[in-house]
Amino acid sequence: MLHRFRKQKAMPVQECPSCAHTTQGGNGEDQTLTNVANGCRCRIRRHRAHGAIRQRLLDLGFVPNAEIEMVRCATLGDPLELRVGDYYVTLRKREADLIDVRAA
Amino acid sequence: MSPAKKNIMIGLAGQQNAGKSTIFNMLTGANQHIANYPGVTVDKKTGNYRDELGRVEVVDLPGTYSLTSFSLEERVARDFLLRERPDAILNVIDASSLRRGLYFTFQILEMSFPVVMALNMVDVATAQGRKIDHEKLGRLLGIEVVPTVGRKGRGKLELRQALRRAAREERGEDEGFQDQHGLRIIYEELEEHIASVHEQLLESENLVKAVPLRWMAVKLLEGDSEALKLLRRHHARADAVMDAVSAATAVFQGKMDITPADYIVTCRDRLAASLVEQCVEVTRADTVRFSEKIDRVLLHRAFAPIFLVLTVYMIYELSIVQGYKLTFLTWPALAWVRTVVAGLLPDPGLLHDTILRSMSLWMVDSVNTLLNYVPIFLILFALIAILEDSGYMARIAFILDRVFQSFGLHGQSTLPFILGGVFTGGCAVPGIMATKGIPDERSRLATILTVPYMNCLAKIPLYTLLVSIYFAAYKSYLMLFISTITIIMAMIIAKLLTSTILRGRETAPFVMEMPNYHMPTLMGVLRRAVDRTWVYIKKVGTIVVAVAVVVYVLLQFPGLPEERMSYFDARMDEAIATFRGNIQETPYAEILADDQAVLNLLNIANTYREAKLAASTQEASSAVDDRYEALHPEIFPLLRPRDADARTISRHLRGLSSERSNLRTAIREETIVYSYFGTVGRALEPVTQYAGFDWKINVALISSFAARESSVATLGVLFQEGADESLSLEERMERSGEATGFTPLHAFALILFFALYPPCLATTIMVKVQTGSYKWMFFSIIFPTVFGLAVASGVFTISTWLGLSGIQAMVGFYFLALGTAIGLSFLPDPAWKEPKAALTRAKEV
């Protein structure tokens, strides 16, 4: 959790274009899925995951160009719940950090 | 072979939560059989039904998201398809997430299997405002698509007919895979590379027979490790093919700036999207899903833990508390079985039974102890099935994953720990059984090995005994200590295991679909509960008999020394002489003149009493009377005394009988002291003295391995010598403690060791069942013994050295353990540090 805290401080804070929440990363710039605020949508640019994790993510619809919505995070801040198309998937931040996205 | 009579085999494939099990149950009804796939612990469920053409065998493949080779389930499913080559595949798809389900369909189509699609839960999709044109979908895919509602049994007949049509084509035994059925996925830019690899694969005749070639070509370009293995096995020029694949990959990547693997996925996704677009009509757009509405409450960041605690409490209350009440009903039935078996065996002697009798009864008792859990299990498994089917289980994992993650465990480790007795008073056996659902191999093993540290119900008597003697003033602190230290220690041990010996085990990322909430069906829940309980009965039933014999021998042999034996015999003779003296005046004295007659009377009186107790109604009770009167006419008046003389005898007979049973208990317990286990207890004294245990404690601890409850019973025997019989065990231990210097610190070391003590016999058997390996079973016995002894010795020796009292040692140890646990939680997981290495390892398994 300490780790997350540091990371947030280091990134510039910006308004999410589709809602009132704040999100990190510049406009059009890539950011990781971890940094998307609750209720915001984004599109997948690419994966930096390999092997089993990559396959699992692809199986669950985290394919390039898919639209993802951040639904909520668990009580202790991890894992995350995301909407992919018409179903919901949970990911740990560790895995979400391997996905580069761009604001939708 | 004429189509008039043909038995076929169907593979049932699909993703998790698509309703595969309900479709399986719908098709096969009650004709099901669960086993394991050869060599792995993955469940293999098969079932069959008959139609007009013959028998149809349905094999339920492990639920997977795709058919790659990354997880054990996927490999099992794929190997099964390639080796057994089912005549057709029934692909179950959740109609409400069609797009993702189609990935799976594409993969089986690519493997050249005839496919029938069961478009399941169409009602849910409709309710969500989506109408699927299944006929059009079928046309586009080139397969039959049957809409079903598994929970309501809709679509059963249509499915059966479609399966027959799909499987009707003839297939030779060793012909290899036929051309692809149905839709062929076009990989556009990659096609030329696929074609060239395909051509090279054609060279190998073996390969042509073993696998579908286009599938193989695609898999090789995808970089699938199992496909590579297959290639090496079957193709003479495997390396040349691999070079070509690498070259093609490099060329493609250079041109397209995307790996072939990613490109393949993108093509499939685009195709799935276009199919969905063509066949699905959205009748109501952008409505918030019903499940999401529930989750806004149940998964609310602040309220989620509250709902979770309530749920856990309900499970605990219903299964453990209420379930134990049910055992009051089942226990008499089991006791009845024991009586019947006892009746079939040779009659008991006065004090000593034949080995045949004592060993058989020992085994019946062992089996009975385990069967006594059955009502608890039925309730428990039904509740677990409800949690799983409803979709809440996935949410429990979601809420708690963060906590467990720090210790190398998984969100789904929650339930096993709860059942094991977080609230003091669970049982590790169902706890270990509940680990089955954990997808991550490393966490699953770590959970199995740490569940026994929880407070099982049978540990409580010893805790209560020691706390009330030595810590009367600090009772509540001690109880808090006991119930939380176990969780703390379990977390520490889990972290130790996952970062050392379990380090190289396959771990799965916590990527999990949050399923829609469903109403569980009564049949589905019942069937699962019965299935799982039955597996328990069968497996434990076979292994326990073998282990029980070994433990029997170690606890009963070499037996009492001659002098103790004659001491007990003398006491019995004395009791019989007193009895004779007391009844001399009665007319029955004559028929009880010889010892055999007295023994007979004692035995008959015992069985009569048991039979009377078992008789629940007035009629049954008088039937027992009639039976005994007919069988033993001359003795019956003594069993049911009507005159004064008979009453005198009956009274003295009860005295004699209770003296006999006291002596028998004393012999049984003293036998333990002299047994091999007892000898070991003495031999261990030099080691265990550092923890403050003398040989008596050692014997009690060793004998409690068979069943926890016996620790207190054994201590009772061991502290009996020379003590006044009228004192309670507490007082006796206290008095003996004053003489031998047993202090609260000793008691604390004992409590600590008992908390970390190896699981009981039944639990170790479950470890064997769930891990499928004797290696882990022995590990689960040896590691806690060594670890527990080391901790207890360390605490005892250091505290003695520092001159700490028992309660001071407790406080000190508690904060030390808590600090260690918190410290360890910040230690990075080895699998995170080198994610790539861990994953490649997983891939190569």
Across the interface, whether the CB atoms of A95 and B510 are under 8 A apart is answered yes
Q: What one-character-per-residue DSSP string does B538-607 give?
A: HHHHHHHHHHHHHHHHHHH-S---HHHHHHHHHHHHHHHHHHHHHHTTSGGGGTT-SHHHHHHHHHHHHH
Optimal mutation site among A62, A87, A100, interface B, most CBs of chain B within 10 A: A87
For residue range B473-518, what is the model confidence (pLDDT) as tens digits?
888 888 888 888 888 999 999 999 988 888 877 777 777 888 888 8
Confirm if B717 and B672 have CB atoms less than 8 A apart: yes
A23 confidence band (pLDDT: 50, 70, 90): very low
Contacts of B269 in chain A (CB under 8 A): 61, 63, 66
Q: Are B760 and B459 in contact (CB under 8 A)?
A: no
Query: Nearest Cβ partner of B265 from A58, A76, A94?
Result: A58
What pTM value is reported for the model?
0.71
Q: Chains A and B: how many Cβ contacts under 8 Å? A: 129
For an interface test with B, the pick among A5, A75, A80, A81 (most B C-beta atoms closer than 10 Å) comes out as A75
pLDDT at A12 over 90: no
Nearest CA in chain A to B68: A55
A55–B301 C-beta distance less than 8 A: no
- Using the Cβ of A39 and the Cβ atoms of chain B, whether some distance falls under 8 Å is answered with no
To test the contact with chain A by mutation, choose from B65, B308, B402 the residue with the greatest count of A C-beta atoms within 10 A, namely B402
Do A56 and B299 lie within an 8 Å CB cutoff? no
pLDDT at A20: 41
pLDDT at B270 over 70: yes
Reduced 3-state DSSP string for B489-506 = HHHHHHHHHHHCCCCCCC
CA distance B64 to B77: 8
CB atoms B840 and A55 under 8 Å: no
Please give, rounded to a whole number of angstroms, the shortest distance from the CA of B832 to a CA of chain A: 8
Please answer whether residues B114 and B91 qualify as being in contact, where contact means their C-beta atoms are separated by less than 8 angstroms: no
Share the mean pLDDT of chain B.
Answer: 81
Q: With contacts defined as CB-CB under 8 Å, which chain A residues touch B68?
A: 55, 59
User: Is residue B706 within 8 Å of B689, Cβ to Cβ?
Assistant: no
User: What residue type is assigned to position B235 of the chain?
Assistant: H
The helix (H) or strand (E) run that includes residue A68 is: strand A67-73
Does the distance separating the beta carbons of A76 and B511 come in below 8 Å? no
Task: Find which of B511, B513, B839 to mutate to test the A interface (most A CBs within 10 Å of its CB).
Answer: B511
Contact partners, residue B272, CB within 8 Å, separation at least 6: B99, B100, B102, B103, B106
Average confidence (pLDDT) over B625-639: 74
Overall average pLDDT of the A72-96 stretch: 87
Smallest Cβ–Cβ distance between B509 and the set A52, A61, A74 belongs to A52
Q: What is the tens place of the pLDDT at every residue in B371-385?
A: 777 888 788 888 888
Q: What type of residue is B196?
A: S
DSSP letters spanning B164-204: HHHH-S---TT----SPPS-----GGGHHHHHHHHHHHHT-
Per DSSP, the three-state class of A86 is coil
Q: Do A59 and B399 touch (CB under 8 A)?
A: no
Looking at A16-30, B31-45, B229-243, B490-504, which range is the least confident one?
A16-30
Q: Would an 8 Å CB–CB cutoff place A5 in contact with chain B?
A: no
Region B682-694: what's the mean pLDDT? 85
Which whole number is the average pLDDT over B226-234? 87
pLDDT digits 0-9 by tens, B767-799: 888 888 889 999 999 999 899 999 999 999 999
pLDDT (average), residues B742-747 = 84
Q: Which contiguous run of DSSP H or E holds residue B139?
A: helix B134-141
What is the pLDDT confidence band of residue B423, given thresholds at 50, 70 and 90? Answer: low
pLDDT(B361) > 50: yes
Confidence band for B169, pLDDT divided at 50, 70 and 90: low
Alpha helices in B1-46 (DSSP H): 20-28
Across the interface, which of B269, B291, B842 has its CB nearest the CB of A63?
B269
CB contact under 8 A, B514 and A88: yes
**Does B727 lie at the interface with A, CB-CB under 8 angstroms?**
no
